[in-house]
Amino acid sequence: DARATWEQREVPLLANGDAGTGGESSAYIAGMDSESSDRVYVRTLGSSKGRVLVSDDAGRSYREIWRGGPPKGFALSPEETKIYVGSVEDGLYVAKTKDFVFSKVSDIQVQCLKTSGSTLYACSSEYSGFILGASEDEGRSFKPVLHLSGLRGPLACPSGTSARVCDQDWPSLKSELAIDGGAPASIDAGADASAGGHPV
């Protein structure tokens, strides 16, 4: 009824020790089917494991379709016939939404997933070769879009602004993340950043 009233429905989280897990502490709505408002996808997160659940009755009941390291990434294909799930520990998996039979397609450390047209985007770490990558073959290979080494440093902001605190943190952050170069950006926060590199 256009959000006029709400009904609370429980997501079945695993307790500590259930099925060899450390228990689950939280649940997140991962996605919804645009053709059926009753189909809801939920990610559950625990200290060492997590799951992806699906409900076909608007959250009255759920079934588990994926289990592994805490799933940091979830995406549906634009036509909603495929589902992508990934974690830092387990890599990237894909399945058809008609049967949820998952196949591993990549070992990248998945931290987020998003589809746009035929492109699948993934956040990862430089251990995977990028921190943002794009795939045109359903995750089997990725082209780097963004590297940490491309960060030029904090934006130049006026004295007294909260953003100026980044200047003092930048040297230690640059060292921790093994970022080459990275002198503070000479452009200001409202200027065009097309000159190369990515200001923080």
Burial of 66 (0-12, 13-18, 19+ CB in 10 A): buried
pLDDT band at 3 (very low <50, low <70, confident <90, very high): confident
State the average pLDDT for the chain: 85
171 three-state secondary structure: helix
Please determine, for residue 186, whether its predicted confidence score (pLDDT) is greater than 70.
no
131 three-state secondary structure: coil
Torsion 146-148-149-150 (CA) sign: positive
pLDDT (mean) for 142-170: 82
Residue 193 confidence (pLDDT): 42
Residue 149 confidence (pLDDT): 75
Tens digits of residue pLDDT in 29-69: 999 998 888 999 999 998 888 999 999 999 999 999 999 99
CB atoms within 10 A of CB 39: 17
- The two beta strands, 82-87 and 63-68, are unpaired
pTM of the full structure: 0.77
pLDDT band at 130 (very low <50, low <70, confident <90, very high): very high
